[in-house]
Structure 1
Amino acid sequence: MSVADGTALTRRIGLFQATAINMSQMCGIGPFVTIPLMVAAFGGPQAVIGWIAGAVLALVDGLVWAELGASLPGSGGSYVYLREAFQYRTGRLMPFLFVWTAMLFIPLIMSTGVVGFVQYLAYLWPGMSKPDGDLVGLALIALVVLLLWQQVDRIARLATAMWGVMITAVLAVLVASYTHFSAHRAFTWPAHAVQLTHGQFWLGFAAGLTIGIYDYLGYNTAAYLGAEVRQPGRVLPRSIIYSVLGIMVIYLLLQIGVLGALDWHRMLDKTDVANQSVASAVLQAAWGKGWAKAITTLILVTAFASVLTGLLGGSRVPYDAARDRVFFRSYAKLHRTRGFPVLGLLTMGVVTAGGFLIGRHTDLNTLINLLTTVMVIVQAFAQILAVTVLRRRQPNLPRPYRMWLYPAPSVLAAVGWLVVYGYADRNAPGYHPIEWSLAWVAVGVLAFVLWSKVEKVWPFAPKEITEEYLTAS
């Protein structure tokens, strides 16, 4: 089918563009707003442990995505993987639940980028009030939706250009950090900083792992665009692995550099600029306020790019599900001339706005814990299981990439996500992210039962086993 008929997507995204989309989404504003959170979690410069732990979890989980994305290169990412793996026992339940949860956690991730944008804008606009910041964030989301109202190849080129801005901003902060670097500040840890037999250390580790993996999220963005990627069996695994390894190096250098440039105690003081705009504080200390303002502007562009690319990929998630009658049919409609999913983009834009307001009126740490718990149950755990299920159910499925050292990365990823989920309530006291995530999934199951009755599919009809990619091969 062609784009003109309102249902088909075309393959236009190559390796460099896919990697740029991933890295723009991964880096974005994340490390610039979470370094103080990481320091607070660990209680000192030993916070670097959290970045290392997050990198390990991102890498092993990235290998899960790499195998699934290479063998099942469809639009929607996890939706396709769960549909193919779990259709034998539960029909369309798992892909439906994934789309149901993704319609919440993907825009919540984007909303953290908008929260960070407003935080850094406050450095350039010291008199910005709370209502001013709210209006700016909502206007930014509206602008992103407007820009995404066009063909994907144009957005891919824009994302590539913004990736260059992101690299420039990160390099500027790195250079400023290491020209004002003190090894004593960076590597002098408090007494008893690492006590493996003490429960408080593991509570801090869990909080740091949650923040760390949040900052690495985005290595899978190109997989959501699988139906629009050229040579997906080659491009998707490479783009995921290159993205994780590249951002891993950048984050470690950035974390150590910032800790060496500033006294970490400043990052815990809510009245200090280092608490809300730590990169601007580093630039100001090293080069003065003029340079700090200039690079802060680039950081704002970086935040904007992360929201843009995230909503670009996320809006495709309900599209393929609806086209295959696994989600509400209205989400299968593409724009008649520009070929993008209209309702998916609008829905995620609205939820992003809601998440932004939640983050503004609670705190960023709470928002991060809410989005990660919603994501873990259906996407992380079920997708890890999907690798094994597909190897057993579809052994002849072409796999251009097979997970290294299988099943060790799957097991390690599952343990890491279990730590993130199990400690969520303690990391966001009073907000009960675990309970909210379970409630959201339970409502999703109810929605599935009602939807399946209307659509007359399992459990109200026999299962439909398609094995789409195995048949196509």
Structure 2
Amino acid sequence: MSTISDLTLSGKLRRDAGIVGLLFASTTSMIGSGWLFGAYHASRIAGPLSIGSWALGAVIIMLIALCFAELAAVFPRSGALVHMSHASHGDGLGRLWCWLLFLAYVPVPAVEAEAIVTYASNYLPWLIRPGSAGVLSLAGFFVCAGLLGITALLNLMVIRWLLNVNSTITWWKILVPILTIVGLMAASTHWDVVRAAPDTYKLSGMFTALPAAGIVFSYLGFRTAIDLGGETANPHRDIPLAVIGSVVLAAVVYIMLQVAFIWALSPVDLAHGWAHLSFKGEMGPFAGLAATLGLGWMATLLYIDAYISPGGTGLMYVTGGSRVLFATGEMEAGPRVLTKLNRNKVPWLAVLVMWVVGTIFLLPFPAWQKMVDYITSVTVLTYGLGPVALLVLRRNLPELHRPFRMWAAPVLAPAAFICSNLVIYWTGFATNTFLFALVAIGFVLYAAYYHIVLRKAAKDFGWNNIAWLLPWFGGIWLLSWLGGIGGGLGVIGFGWDILLVALWSVIVMRLAMRCALRVEQTRAMMERMDATS
């Protein structure tokens, strides 16, 4: 067993990130490929109600983000999501959450690379298989792998330089969507299209679009400011401001983009209904609409942005994911070699792992929307711990200094947990089956390694602290199977499914509180983490 002093031998991360750097890191993580494709897919699923989908998605993510804003100020460390799980339910949950967080982070740079290649296929068609709805060709796969390698190399820079590069990219990423909103709304002559084909979409589509259209996926990047918490000199102030500010900024941009997209459509595009929305250049939706409206300059700008926006998001997710791996090594939930830093004080081996495994993820999900479903489900699953950890720490450490304190936590935290589970449910049975199978495989392998290879006692694994995970994961999977989304049986109808998921979430949260660490255990865990800071 390594001592705490050993953990510090690899060095300390630089604290060069300021409030603007953190705000823009989260903002650029949100305004990526989601804005290039989300409005198109949301329109096909929910029609004009897709505007409500973006607003609802912002509310859900803000509830979750408020929980993490309080927790992040308490854990001002890089890879803070790892530390939160240890503090609430001990090493056993911490080890599992490291696996889940890695599964959530590592495919995002890959999906951003796929977005770049998909847009480029409008003028380089050999990047996509013909007639495959966006599935990569062999050449497209290698191009994506190369793009991932570039983001990894850029991540080896000093964090201050990296965030300066990202700040420049973020100004561009905010400006281009704003120009797109103004340009499309000014050029549109079919503002009444919102009333077209009213029988071709349903109210339920407004909810299923949240994961299926990449809406929740687009908002998930608020966590980047949390991941870089150990690299800012004033984390107690900067992290909450960056988290909340980035969600508000992204919500305004995304809602207005959806409005502009719908107004720019022609009734001809909806001749076969919203579900079959089609127009020339739809593989690059906003650029295609701009060209249709005679805005050639905007189409060109958007094809350029199709490299910059996803590229910037992928860049930041490699940064965040490598910090999660750094924290995994720091807490001895994974190989300690992950804490090794290069001369720029960057965890270089963790960055390398993000590149290699991210490339592998291109294989089972060779199309943008296919990977987005999975990422949404696994990421929101990891976020579900936040409301639980917040209430555990409120109970066990009421005197702990909280620079940011979420209002009405006993009500809003359970609401955030319910929303997390609803998003997972709406992702659908097929995606959730794949997700929970991956989780089960990881859990079984690690348990076997822990007990058979390391020969450690069951009491040290923390089985009693993680007992609530089986009813949580198993219950959501069962409800997905009984529901009618993504291959479910359709036994549970719309409305009843929301009620059942909400009720089950409340039960699981009560179980989670009962399984949490005792007061003295939480204090000991916090002291252990303080010793490594």
Q: TM-score range with shorter-chain normalisation?
A: 0.7 to 0.9
> Does the 8 Å contact 1:102/1:317 carry over to 2?
yes
> Does the 8 Å contact 2:222/2:247 carry over to 1?
yes
Closer/same/farther in 2, CA of residues 189 and 456 from structure 1, 3 Å limit: farther
Aligned residue among 6, 19, 22 for 2:10: 6
Closer/same/farther in 2, CA of residues 2 and 434 from structure 1, 3 Å limit: closer
TM-score, normalised relative to structure 2: 0.78
> Does the 8 Å contact 1:27/1:306 carry over to 2?
yes
> Does the 8 Å contact 1:10/1:228 carry over to 2?
yes
Q: Structure 1 residue 128: deviation in Å?
A: 4.5
1:439 corresponds to: 437
1:118 corresponds to: 117
Aligned residue among 233, 237, 255 for 1:234: 237
Equivalents in 2 of 1:262, 1:203: separation in Å?
Answer: 19
Closer/same/farther in 2, CA of residues 396 and 265 from structure 1, 3 Å limit: same
Q: Give SS of 1:275's match.
A: coil
1:51 corresponds to: 54
> Does the 8 Å contact 2:112/2:311 carry over to 1?
yes
Q: Structure 1 residue 230: deviation in Å?
A: 2.2
2:500 corresponds to: none
Q: Structure 1 residue 165: deviation in Å?
A: 1.6
Closer/same/farther in 2, CA of residues 46 and 189 from structure 1, 3 Å limit: farther
The letter for the 2-side match of 1:351 is V
Q: Give SS of 1:327's match.
A: coil
Alignment of 1:48-447 (within 5 A): 48-87=51-90, 92-126=91-125, 128-129=127-128, 130-182=137-189, 184-188=191-195, 190-191=197-198, 201-202=203-204, 205-209=207-211, 211-263=214-266, 265=270, 272-335=279-342, 337-360=343-366, 363-377=367-381, 379-426=382-429, 432-447=430-445
**How big is each residue's C-alpha offset from its partner over 1:197-237, in whole Å with a ceiling of 9 and x where there is no partner?**
xxx63255223355321111101111011111221110000
Equivalents in 1 of 2:142, 2:280: separation in Å?
Answer: 22
**How big is each residue's C-alpha offset from its partner over 1:81-110, in whole Å with a ceiling of 9 and x where there is no partner?**
1111112xxxx1111111111222212222
Percent of aligned pairs sharing the same letter: 22
The letter for the 2-side match of 1:312 is T
TM-score, normalised relative to structure 1: 0.88
Closer/same/farther in 2, CA of residues 329 and 273 from structure 1, 3 Å limit: farther
Equivalents in 2 of 1:393, 1:17: separation in Å?
Answer: 33
Q: Structure 1 residue 73: deviation in Å?
A: 1.0
Q: Structure 1 residue 52: deviation in Å?
A: 1.1
> Does the 8 Å contact 2:325/2:350 carry over to 1?
yes
Runs of 5+ unmatched residues, structure 1: 195-199, 427-431
Alignment pair present for 1:34 and 2:34: no
The letter for the 2-side match of 1:9 is L
Equivalents in 2 of 1:193, 1:416: separation in Å?
Answer: 27
Equivalents in 2 of 1:288, 1:127: separation in Å?
Answer: 26
RMSD: 2.8
Q: Structure 1 residue 122: deviation in Å?
A: 2.1
> Does the 8 Å contact 1:114/1:356 carry over to 2?
no
1:429 corresponds to: none
Closer/same/farther in 2, CA of residues 169 and 98 from structure 1, 3 Å limit: same
Closer/same/farther in 2, CA of residues 300 and 323 from structure 1, 3 Å limit: same
Equivalents in 2 of 1:170, 1:367: separation in Å?
Answer: 23
Structure of greater relative contact order (alpha carbons < 8 Å, 6+ residues apart)? 1
**How big is each residue's C-alpha offset from its partner over 1:291-335, in whole Å with a ceiling of 9 and x where there is no partner?**
412332023211111100111111110112212212222212222
Q: Give SS of 1:334's match.
A: coil
Closer/same/farther in 2, CA of residues 265 and 183 from structure 1, 3 Å limit: closer
Q: Structure 1 residue 248: deviation in Å?
A: 0.7
Equivalents in 1 of 2:435, 2:127: separation in Å?
Answer: 34
Closer/same/farther in 2, CA of residues 268 and 111 from structure 1, 3 Å limit: farther
